[in-house]
Amino acid sequence: MAAASSGAPKAMQGATNTEVTSQAYLESNKVEETKALISELCRQFYDLGWVSGTGGSITIKVHDDSIPKPQQLIIMSPSGVQKERMVPEDMYVLSPSGSILSSPLAKPYPHKPPKCSDCAPLFMKAYEIHNAGAVIHSHGMEACLVTMLNPLSKEFRITHMEMIKGIQGHGYHDELVVPIIENTAHERELTESLTEAIEAYPKTTAVLVRNHGIYIWGDSWINAKTQAECYHYLFDAAIKLHQLGLDCSSPSHGPNHSFRGVGGGDWNVNLSAKARNLIANHDTEPARRCIVLDIEGTTTPISSVTDVLYPYARDNVGRHIYATYATAETQDDIKLLRSQVQSDLEQGIFGAVPIPSDDAGKEEVIAALVANVEAMIKADRKVTALKQLQGHIWRAGFQNNKLMGVVFDDIPEALEKWHALGIKVYIYSSGSRLAQRLFFGNTKFGDLRKYMFGFFDTTVGHKRESRSYVEISQYVGADNPSEILFVTDVFEEAVAAKAAGWEVMISIRPGNGPLPDNHGFKTIQSFSEI
């Protein structure tokens, strides 16, 4: 293997201990193992149709526990090479900043001179922005065709498919959104638009390139590969649903509202009689594309939360933590609580008590955790650490039929009407996404999640801050924030949503708190008024 320049590579020059270690890292077995891994994966991807005709590429960081990910070396496949015939010696080794440290030797005709992947600048952006551990570029037919279903769309959207669970940060009931950028004549010219897409969609782990393929990244090669397989499956499913005249972005995957079947038949004939009546009674096409709902005091009586859910969590917190103490989930809950309590102590928050280290013993740690959680519940704290733990406690209650989601009687009919009109419904609550799914999945009206496209909690931001609503706007895909209606019972939340450009209505329900005089918002007492 030849160095990219004469003498030692620039990143390896000098005689300090760090640089000597780096030289050892460059020559380590881990580097050679990563090269061999890329060769193996490219053969597999070739069989899947992702890297045929020398197209596509893959890059992986050389994992070493002693080296932080941003400082790990990068192995990258070459350009213009038959991917199924590559060998470890064909790989390039790059520094963390992207400079070539070593390159493969030239091979005799008919092989072309070695050249690092044309995707290198795009790969480096995924490493830089998301601290990825691996990036895959596929030319799979599914990834190409799915961008052609709607030539004007800047996004691919799909929901309620099992394989969505394989995409980082998503569950079955979530709407998966993948940005689409336009193709260019040369791969490197995509760098700017790919960067803009990554920044505009901070939750995405992939970017589609129209008529071209897809870039997918993960925190490791396993994560990137798993997601790549799930993305291609979902693209294939979307194409087949489209061919059947069905809508992949609808929770029920019902008829596509823009699709006309064989012989020009209208999609409306396939809807239920009730849905057709709901649409027929709606005088005009809805001006809004999305409706975002609060839960407590909006879809649900405040009393069902304060008098049932909160006490259940409070009464079972100690039992739950003790029974699940050793699980990764509960240890993560404890880690979040420790961080929150430390912050509370520094700020002098009333009710916060120190949590001892694990060395103090399980019982001591749990006792302190229970004291803090009880204080947070009593103060109605809207913090992620509490809400995440509550969701896990409530899950057991719903599974054991000790809890049920309570919604006002007008909610199911309104959800069905909006669904029939093609309006997407989301939930934004301080309760965790898990808790929201459990709540709407277990009501006396059945599972209402079939009408919902996604769930947002405080991980997206505080509900009284306008930037949280700006973030949600980017996710739900509204061309204009005014196309989103937010319904809440909290005046401060209404103000924040309005500042983000949303339409806002305030819910007046029994038990809700008073509103300021001359608050200026439209109020409703039932969802039938929307």
Residues annotated as part of the active site: 162
* Signed CA dihedral, 125, 197, 58, 34: sign only: positive
Task: Please tell me whether 119 is known to bind a ligand.
Answer: yes
Task: Please tell me whether 139 is known to bind a ligand.
Answer: yes
Q: Which amino acid, one-letter code, is at 255?
A: P
Q: Are 419 and 251 in contact (CB under 8 A)?
A: yes
Task: Please tell me whether 266 is known to bind a ligand.
Answer: no
- Residue 188 contacts by C-beta under 8 Å, 6 or more apart in sequence? 118, 120, 121, 122
Task: Please tell me whether 137 is known to bind a ligand.
Answer: yes
DSSP 31-75: HHHHHHHHHHHHHHHHHTTSSGGG--EEEEE---TTS-GGGS-EE
Residue matched to tokens 């733990």: 389
- Residue 424 contacts by C-beta under 8 Å, 6 or more apart in sequence? 175, 289, 290, 291, 453, 476
d(CA 128, CA 131): 6
Task: Please tell me whether 111 is known to bind a ligand.
Answer: no
Task: Please tell me whether 116 is known to bind a ligand.
Answer: no
Q: H or E segment at 176?
A: strand 175-181
Residue matched to tokens 């079947």: 261
Residue matched to tokens 């201990």: 17
Task: Please tell me whether 153 is known to bind a ligand.
Answer: no
Q: H or E segment at 376?
A: helix 362-378
Task: Please tell me whether 402 is known to bind a ligand.
Answer: no
Q: Which long-range contacts (CB under 8 A, 24 or more apart) does 456-459 make?
A: 456/292, 456/426, 456/427, 456/428, 456/429, 457/384, 457/387, 457/428, 457/429, 457/430, 457/431, 457/432, 457/433, 458/382, 458/383, 458/384, 458/387, 458/430, 459/384, 459/433
Minimal CA–CA distance to 126: which of 215, 203, 223?
Answer: 215
Structure tokens at 459: 């991980």
Q: Which residues are annotated as a binding site for Zn(2+)?
A: 137, 139, 212
Q: Which residues are annotated as a binding site?
A: 119, 137, 139, 212, 294, 296, 429-430, 463, 489
